[in-house]
Structure 1
Amino acid sequence: MNRMNYKAIVLVFILQLVIGLVWYTSSPASLSSHVAQVGSGRPEASIMLLFAGAILAYVFFMAWLLTRVNAMSILGRVLFVVSVWLCIVLPNYVFVAVHLNMTGSDTVYLLAYGALNCAIAATILPLWPSSRSIFRN
């Protein structure tokens, strides 16, 4: 049985937090004005903690799923992470964009953020196995 690589989980978590910070601070004017209409232009600490918790839950869930499908090849694991994003996370982004009446460019901006996070997780998690995986049966 493979174990989760906690170093890889922390690395993916930190990279996704940094990307989220950069993505939020460099958002287009139309999306920034939409956020300003919903609330203040600056997110509250509770929203930032919720965002960090969501990223951590996503990364742990993906790492846990990858330990359960350990019979797959590395390419299969990468495609598995991408397919989970396409089938589970992508519809949520689309629903939020439709519900908030976002423009097409704002929707693509948010989807690009999710796709970049998926690429980070699909690159690091399957390719950096746990150091204890050599002791499996």
Structure 2
Amino acid sequence: MAAEDDLPGVRRAERPGRPGAPPGPGPHRRHLPRPSLALAESRAHRELPTWLYHFTWGSAAHCIEIPFTFDLLNAERVTAATGPQPPQSLAEAMHGAWVAFIRDLAPGHSGPRCTNRRRTTMTWDVVPEALDDPLSAEGGAWTTP
């Protein structure tokens, strides 16, 4: 496997505008979405309710979104992974969407569902937003017919 420095654009020394935040995406992050995208595309092809999300804030550490999902930014050792002062507003928005999804079977954000025609994805960052197909480069080998 190539060293991280040999993979341009994969890992950044510091996140722009986020002093003290952990480094950006590592090479492992490029492979994680592929099976999830295949599953989402399969569900969308059968017109089953499907939503995608992509957590882009902070580091690419595996499961970094968990303290945001459960609104536990004050939990012990969270800042070791997130860096100092992770955005509470992001935790509240993401937690609210998951609570709505559990309660109503639909996330409480304004992003539309992923369909056979549009791979709309809720992108969770300082300002969450729904984007059309932000992971298109990730899905190539996993797209369904």
TM-score (norm 2): 0.34
Q: Please state which structure has a larger fraction of its residues in strand.
A: 2
Higher relative CO (Cα under 8 Å, sequence separation at least 6) belongs to 1
Larger radius of gyration: 1
Q: Please state which structure has a larger fraction of its residues in helix.
A: 1
